[in-house]
Structure 1
Amino acid sequence: MGGGETCGKKRTSLSKGPTLGNHGLTLQFEIIALAALCIILLLDLLYVVKKPHEPSMKESGLWVAFYVGLAVIFGVVVWFQAGPDLGQQFYAGWVTEYSLSIDNLFVFIIIMARFSVPRKYQQEVLMFGIIIALILRAIFIVAGAAVIEHYSWVFYIFGAFLLFTAWKQATDNGEDESEGANNGIVYKLTKNLPISKEYDGNKLRTVIDGKKMFTPMVMVFVTIGMTDLLFAVDSIPAIFGLTQSPFIVFTANLFALMGLRQLYFLLGGLMDRLIFLKHALSIILAFIGVKLVFHAMHVNELPFINGGQHIEWVPDISITVSLTVILGTIVIATVASLLSPAGRRAAAEQKAAKAAETAEIDGK
């Protein structure tokens, strides 16, 4: 994977552990691990394409448990092969990316509802979104690693960006601005395409009155892709604030995306009850943003800051502290969401909406 160089005379690693290229993981292990994980994801995709259906709670739960268990085992293997520092980096990165991916699910739910995607085919749409997200994140990971390798000052930019993202998410009034922006972009990209009003199964193209047309599924895919792009821009700086190993960054993202479509169906109405999730993500992003700024000060080489010298007095936040803060924030936000009166009201509203939908279907 590339050797981890130092910035000037100081390490650019965000932790006190070994840097990339000297982390105890062999190139052979990395290649085998990435190949195996990609094969698992590919088999999952082929299964969805071959048997499109709405998975049951039991099926979804088993798959989510499998992928979460696989991530935990993988972290243990990394821990024992490369030491606790890299193992903690993986867990911190995975939990952070998994949390951001759950936030992504909220947007996917809105998109599915807006375009009235039949639930039978929502698995395929979700899988498409996951594949596109993985490709975009892989591109950003390679680009980010190359930039970090040569320009230590980029940590100032990453940190400032995460702090801005955290503030924006914390002050969000509940309307999804990114989705609103997507609507304009999607319209411009598809306005000249002949698009039918009805779906034709899971097809992208159909024939109506002898004329070939695209189905609304095309607009769904374009919207999902644009959403993935926005989330990739947020998530990559966040995980580079926890580790500089491209292998750890990529595998953490891969595990965060694996099983996401099953989680979509497993959570169901529970998604509406996680009312404090966005606040938790704001805290996590702000924390990592501060960590990145502190690290940028540690390796500072900008001539207009401290005369181009490293700033040693700023605190060095260890990966253990980072993992504790991330896990603690997620647990507190989840428990508070489920037990709070607002969360219970959201659950009651969701239950009433489902009952009304069922009654309407029975009435037909």
Structure 2
Amino acid sequence: MYACKRLEKKRIKKRKGESMALNEKQILEKVTSRFVVNLAYAYETKDALCLVLTLMNGGDLKFHIYNMGNPGFQEQRASFYAAEILCGLGDLHQECIVYRDLKPENILLDDYGHIRISDLGLAVKIPEGESIRGRVGTVGYMAPEVLNNLRYTFSPDYWGLGCLIYEMIAGQSPFRGRKEKVKREEVDRRVLETEEVYTHKFSEEAQSVCKMLLTKDVKQRLGCHEGRTLEIKRHPFFRVINFKRLEAGIMDPPFAPDPRAVYCKDVLDIEQFSTVKGVNLDQTDDDFYTKFSTGSVSIPWQNEMTETECFKELNIFGPNGTLSPDLNRSHPPVPPKKSLLHRIFKRQVRSIRITRPSHQILRHP
């Protein structure tokens, strides 16, 4: 079973989201990870672009943090999710991809309670040996270097991990209270100038890892040195995590979703089904669609083709290794055979004309 992420063509054009949609598809092709949503296929319909992805039925972390009893998690559960997120970031960084949008809404649970990072629209591949600049992300989760429009590599992801750990334990984000109405400029100021507040919910280890990840100076931040994710894995906060077993998928999650439950507040988001008016698709959009709907060459897709041995049906050639007739462009096209249904229909019509008396045949002008 897979999930289909449907991107409406007119909505993409209205929001000028072509580059983000294409970027997500191309990034997903490069990544294969137990902790990142994987791409199985990509195609287009008349009205939409479609990504066939890993099915995640357990809802997102934001719903679980705020709508399943008292806000926040026990530290053991927060540690498990943080460890799996850390493994996902490690797999992305190994491909020189920085994620840049770590927040609870983008972390999804599967049927068993394991998590995966989703929505890679803001992720970007960093050229080897270089750094990038870009003020992108979600308010309250963007790192100081992002807000200041400085150059960076993977540091925003470690800041985002610190925000997530804090929110999972505290039941609110580090720089904005729950349901607090505050302007974006004020939230950015807090990120740049103020220190987060820790309550009795935080153990000494939890407070330590949050402070080290939420260090405003990139050079002092945990993970921003040669060891990267390995440096974070060694922190006492993860002392109960066996990362070898975790990466092999044989550690039991602390929470298993109920298969009968629906883990979302609104089953139908009306805005997503509303009609987009005043946007017309034209010939210039076709180039973008052609780049998007190339099927998929992702590693999970290749593995599936290997395991199912579909390639054996495709690798059929002519005599002595020559091309099969359908692949040989020099041969004239073979006229298609009429379908079995068409032949049966013709036979039935012929039978009716023979057996039915002439006076029963209706004649039309």
TM-score range, shorter chain: under 0.3
Considering Cα pairs closer than 8 Å and 6+ residues apart, tell me whether 1 or 2 has the greater RCO: 1
Q: Based on CA coordinates, which of the two structures has the bigger radius of gyration?
A: 2
The structure with the greater share of residues assigned to helix is: 1
Q: TM-score by structure 1 length?
A: 0.27
Q: TM-score by structure 2 length?
A: 0.27
